[in-house]
Chain A
Amino acid sequence: MQNFQANLKRLEAADTQVLGISIDSPPSNGAWAKQINVDFPLLSDMDHKVLTAYGLNKEYDIKGAKILAARRMNYLIDKDGKVVEMQVDNDAVDPSKVVDVCERKKLKE
């Protein structure tokens, strides 16, 4: 999320709203947002409804405990609600491809 915050000005200039999403609770997301200075919404999908709709539930092994959480993924969704770019797993850590695509889209409009 820190990488999105670092690119927030460019994304906003290209008419793009950033939304983070995970299975964390709103207070947990709030504490984290404060700690890393994120000021875009971090959404709480505690019952995995959205993860299931997007097929992004993934099992993680945390010190022997199996925990179901989000697979790492970035989607760029255009104003018509269509997916125009995606980055999955480790590729999703650096959002620069998403930033590039919205800036190019902005130029075309």
Chain B
Amino acid sequence: MKRTRIAVLSSIFALAACSVSTFAADTKSSDAPPPKIKVGDTAPDFKLLDQNFKTVSLSDFKGKKNVALAFYVFAFTGG
């Protein structure tokens, strides 16, 4: 009985250790360099194709609209 309990406990600790290391990998970016473009800077212009092969430039919106520019890691992932 006691041995079972120890086995259970140690597997819980092993799981906890695993999740801690995953967490560390996720937050590793906290020691990434500070972003190059910051609040107050002029956003560099660009011209890129969207999903319908239409060209979109940041400058298309100048004087007309604010732009929320969202950089994401990969399509088919969360966020």
Chain A contacts to B: CB under 8 angstroms: 1-4, 11, 14-24, 26-33, 35, 41-45, 49-51, 53-56, 58, 60, 69-86, 88-90, 92-93, 95, 98, 102, 105
Contacts and interface: CB of A to CB of B under 8 A. Distances in A.
Nearest to A49: B46
A74 B70 CA distance: 4
B52 A58 contact: no
9 contacts: A4-B68, A4-B70, A16-B67, A20-B70, A30-B51, A56-B71, A79-B63, A82-B42, A84-B39
Nearest to A32: B75
A90 B26 CA distance: 8
Contact of B35 (A1, A27, A55, A105): A55
Interface of B: 26-27, 29-30, 32-33, 35-46, 48-54, 56, 58-59, 61-76, 78-79
Given A53-B44, A55-B33, A71-B29, 7 more contacts: A17-B66, A28-B76, A56-B71, A77-B66, A79-B65, A82-B40, A89-B30
Given A26-B52, A56-B71, A90-B26, A81 B65 contact: no
A72 B73 contact: yes
Contacts of A19: 56, 58, 67-70
Given A17-B66, A79-B61, A73 B35 contact: yes
A48 to B, nearest CB: 11
B73 A60 contact: yes
Contact of B51 (A41, A45, A53, A77): A41
